[in-house]
Structure 1
């Protein structure tokens, strides 16, 4: 009986000009086709990090790392636990999944050793209380030209990483995490 009802429904919808897409044909959420596997770029840069900020968008939450010069590479991927730079100690994070963000830029001036980004609260770099996907952004330290940031998210979701030039002679490393698949 259910099969007959289903066939009748499809025939009626077709007569009305409505087509049903199979799950394989359905459009991805907001057109997002990023995936959740680790993303990397190998470049190194001695240009220091100067800030970290976040933003909410219709389809994803965004983390931006500001750099005073050319952006280096990065390794961003889901891990069981985020490890602090240099010590390897685990960083406690809220969320159902954890992204370890390692950028190939220091958070200090390489000539003087003076810090260029020193968070007021290493356990909460920005307030992400009302974000759909982000749960916590925490500092993992900077050591030998590498800087680690822990990002707790709601679940293992698709993400992308890219760099942007500017403003001025600076650049930005951007991590977007989708709100859903």
Structure 2
């Protein structure tokens, strides 16, 4: 009988130790996630004022795609305009109260706490043939862009492609700082998660 009590007691001790062992890794995993977040240094100084750049004379190149990505500090939208060795593209990015289609001035509803209007000097069609190179339709969600799970982006609508400029309305959570990166074959718009 004594042996039976010892076994029951030993089992109780082992079970208690086992439950502690299970709790320790969970706390360690949480601590590791918090340490990673604390070590991420987000860029500062972007601001929310309009940003634009002009380009020298160049042959117009067509817009072939718009894609998005999520990062620790910001959400990203990329406008792909192939053409290696070409001059960087012109762009204008600014917060607007209402997104209006160019040139009709028709209001296009865009969800979110604030709207960024993005204009890139790349038509959504081949300038030589007139054939579409990007399937965006006025007022519709950007094709191939799914913003579920994004911290900052809420909605993305195609405005128009008029006189060599493609226009997009990007709905964001609030008026947050952003930056624009201009490369030879794309324009990148990053919108921060916080100030």
Please, what TM-score do these two structures have when normalized by structure 2? 0.71
- State the Cα RMSD in Å: 1.7
Of residues 163, 178, 181 in structure 1, which corresponds to 2:192?
A: 178
Written as runs of structure 1 = structure 2, the 5 A alignment for 1:56-135 is: 56-69=70-83, 70=86, 71-119=88-136, 123-125=140-142, 126-135=145-154
Which portions of structure 1, spanning 4 or more consecutive aligned residues, are displaced by more than 6 angstroms? none
- Aligned equivalents of 1:67 and 1:51: distance in 2? 7
The TM-score normalised by the length of structure 1 is 0.77
**d(CA) in 1 for partners of 2:130 and 2:44?**
40
Which runs of 5 or more structure 1 residues have no equivalent in the other structure? 1-28, 166-170
| SS of residue matched to 1:117 | coil
Which protein is richer in helix relative to its size? 2
**Partners in 2 of 1:142 and 1:101 — Cα distance?**
12
- Between the aligned partners of 1:116 and 1:178, the Cα distance in structure 2 is 30
Equivalent position to 2:168, from 149, 152, 167: 149
Long gaps (5+) in structure 2: 1-40
Q: If each structure's strand is expressed as a fraction of its own residues, which one has the higher value? A: 1
1:162 to 2:195 alignment? no
SS in 2 for 1:49: coil
Q: Give the aligned partner of residue 33 of structure 1.
A: 45
The DSSP-based 3-state class of the residue aligned with 1:132 is: coil
Displacement of 1:68 in angstroms is: 2.1
